Amino acid sequence: MQKTVWVSYDLGVKGDYASLYRWFDNMGATECGDGMAYIKINIEKDVVIPDYIKAELQANVTFSRSDRIYIVWSNPDGQPKGRFIVGRRKAAPWAGYGDVAEVEDDI
């Protein structure tokens, strides 16, 4: 079964980009801007996509503690899902720039 997966990557300044790019090239990935790629994978119906991609990447790329990989795929019902498979979410660089006023308590 063919599945589509979007891969967002942030390996920092000293990341193992050569290995990641080799894996992308071998997968026939399409470039989608800075830090984003699109791949199509052929997997069995019962394979869990995040687990499969994570295992593939860990077998081919050396990751540091600060590296992050986030994937987006569709569930069997067609609903999009997203998850970090390497690293985790951090504070957004745009936090605090919005036009939302801070509310002070009157206590």
pTM: 0.86
Give which of 15, 30, 3 is closest to 69, Cα–Cα: 15
Residue-wise pLDDT tens digits, 40-97? 999 998 899 999 999 999 999 999 999 999 999 998 788 999 999 999 999 999 988 9
For the chain, domains (ranges, CATH) are 2-86 (3.30.70)
Q: Enumerate long-range contacts of 11-17, CB under 8 Å, 24 or more apart.
A: 11/63, 11/64, 11/67, 11/68, 12/64, 12/66, 12/67, 14/64, 15/63, 15/64, 15/67, 16/61, 16/62, 16/63
Residue 67 to residue 13: CA distance in whole angstroms: 10
- In the three-class reduction of DSSP (H, G, I as helix; E, B as strand; rest coil), residue 10 is classed as strand
Strand partners, 82: 72
Tokens of 28: 């026939």
Tokens of 89: 């979410």
**Beta strands across the sheet bearing 2-10:** 30-31, 36-42, 2-10, 68-74, 80-86
Residue-wise pLDDT tens digits, 5-56? 999 999 999 999 999 999 999 999 999 999 999 999 999 988 999 999 999 9
